[in-house]
Amino acid sequence: MIEVVTVPLEGRAYDVRIGPGLIARAGVEIAPLLARPRVAVVTETRVAALHLEALRAGLAAAGIEMVALELPPGESTKAWPEFSRCVEWLLEQKIERRDVVIALGGGVIGDLVGFAAAVLRRGIRFVQIPTSLLAQVDSSVGGKTGINAPQGKNLIGAFHQPALVLADTDALNSLPPRDFLSGYGEVVKYGLLGDAAFFDWLETRGPDLLSGDQGARIEAVRRSVQMKADIVLRDETEQGDRALLNLGHTFCHALESATGYSDRLLHGEGVAIGCALAFELSARLGLCPQEEPSRVRAHLRAMGMKVDLADIEGDLPDAGALLALMGQDKKVIDGQLRFILARGIGAAFVTSDVPQEEVLKLLTDALAIR
Ligand code: GLY
């Protein structure tokens, strides 16, 4: 069963197709986009070992030839050196304006290849084949592409929408449990920010998702992508509502920076901890009842996720230093930190009206229980 969510942006509408076996069917899915039966695939070595030959066979079944570049895995790939290697390789392969590039992998590959497609010959089309849960529910949809700068994450990039997204839910079967749970942090985020019924559903079906229930996984990806598509349609370039997708991210980015973007904290783990902190802050500011952060924390705990700062191994800087790191966030406007807070589960909103002392106190208390 394949589910389809359309992102109906004018003149650039595209489908996100969700379900099993999509890598094996990639040829028939992609063929209608092609001016000639040849594509360039950019991936990373770990994903290549799992899925590249299946993709080659899937494309060949529709008579499509493929050339492939394998970059190293990991966040450090998302920077100028591998980016220029990718762009120059695409030029060497004589990829033309009407050709299509395929990004096969997780968020790092999707962001980097999307950005390469945005600038190559002033913009060519690309297809996302996201293989991580995080990429399927978030980064492959919505057109944010880019790489990291020494000054911070995702500071160099462009909005460039894919022409098609193939979210093959079979690919989730090969994810290590920690990576799956990290992606789940972004799934929970959708329920928390805008869909209380989805959060209710996750409370019941979350364990099935984890144990590999195919139907539950397809449904979770579909609902997440649908919510993202709706938000992107309202606010493609993040002038307003799209910032809601950053629920938990201001705390997360500070924690990722404090842990050196290392394996100590995966992105989705930081999002989960950040969501718990955002709900706690909302309750402390009297915006939502205390039961709401308790319910968020209980669900994350029940799923075996990181919830507290104490769940991050090793030392963390003090509350003042964490607050300073939050101040480097892209969401700072005129020096004012913007927060995504909530009036309850499923009711997030954006505000700059948060007293710094409250944030400092929250972080001090959170660090004290380590
Ligand atoms: N991942 C947040 C966004 O796409 O806006």
Give the pLDDT confidence of 31-87 residue by residue, as tens digits.
999 999 999 999 999 999 999 999 999 999 999 999 999 999 999 999 999 999 999
Query: Tokens 């299509």 label which residue?
Result: 100
CA nearest to 109, candidates 158, 74, 144, 81: 74
Q: How many residues does the chain have?
A: 370
Nearest residue (by CA) to ligand 1, atom 2, is 245
pLDDT grade, residue 153 (50/70/90)? confident
pLDDT at 284 over 70: yes
Q: What's the rounded Cα separation, in Å, for the pair 142 and 130?
A: 13
**Percentage of residues in the chain with pLDDT exceeding 90?**
93
Name the residue of 159, 224, 246 whose CB sits within 8 Å of the most ligand 1 atoms, as the mutation to test its pocket: 246
The single-letter code of the amino acid at 36 is R
State the pLDDT at residue 335: 67
CA of 180 to the centre of ligand 1 (A): 19
CA nearest to 48, candidates 25, 80, 72: 72
State the pLDDT at residue 149: 92
pLDDT at 5 over 90: yes
User: Is residue 144 among the annotated active site residues?
Assistant: yes
User: Is residue 222 among the annotated active site residues?
Assistant: no
**Percentage of residues in the chain with pLDDT exceeding 70?**
98
Question: Which of helix, strand or coil describes residue 312?
Answer: coil
Q: What are phi and psi of 193, to 5 degrees?
A: -80, -30
Q: Is ligand 1 within 6 A of the CB of residue 142?
A: yes
Q: What's the rounded Cα separation, in Å, for the pair 76 and 85?
A: 14
**Active-site pick, 25, 144, 223, 299:** 144
Question: Which of helix, strand or coil describes residue 171?
Answer: helix
**Active-site pick, 56, 78, 249, 297:** 249
Q: What's the rounded Cα separation, in Å, for the pair 185 and 31?
A: 34
CB hemisphere CA count around 115 (13 angstroms): 24
User: Is residue 94 among the annotated active site residues?
Assistant: no
Q: Is ligand 1 within 6 A of the CB of residue 232?
A: no
Burial class of residue 34 (count of CB atoms within 10 Å of its CB; 0-12, 13-18, 19+) = middle
CA of 349 to the centre of ligand 1 (A): 15
State the pLDDT at residue 150: 87
pLDDT grade, residue 105 (50/70/90)? very high
Q: What is the pLDDT of residues 310-342, one digit of tens each?
A: 999 999 999 999 999 988 766 666 667 889 999
DSSP H helices, the chain, are 26-30, 45-47, 53-60, 80-92, 107-119, 133-134, 177-194, 196-211, 214-234, 249-258, 267-284, 291-302, 319-326, 356-368
State the pLDDT at residue 336: 76
State the pLDDT at residue 332: 63
User: Is residue 228 among the annotated active site residues?
Assistant: yes
Q: Is ligand 1 within 6 A of the CB of residue 138?
A: yes
CA of 119 to the centre of ligand 1 (A): 20
- Residue-range domains of the chain with CATH: 3-174 (3.40.50.1970), 181-368 (1.20.1090.10)
State the pLDDT at residue 152: 83
Q: What's the rounded Cα separation, in Å, for the pair 351 and 341?
A: 7
Question: Is residue 316 within 8 Å of residue 309, measured between CB atoms?
Answer: yes
In this structure, the strands spanning 152-159 and 144-149 are antiparallel
Q: What's the rounded Cα separation, in Å, for the pair 96 and 34?
A: 11
- CB neighbour list of residue 90: distance below 8 Å, 6 or more residues apart: 40, 42, 69, 101, 116, 120
Q: What's the rounded Cα separation, in Å, for the pair 96 and 113?
A: 15
- 338: DSSP letter: P
CA nearest to 49, candidates 86, 104, 114, 93: 104
Question: How big is the CA angle at 241 (ends 356 and 250), to the nearest 5 degrees?
Answer: 35
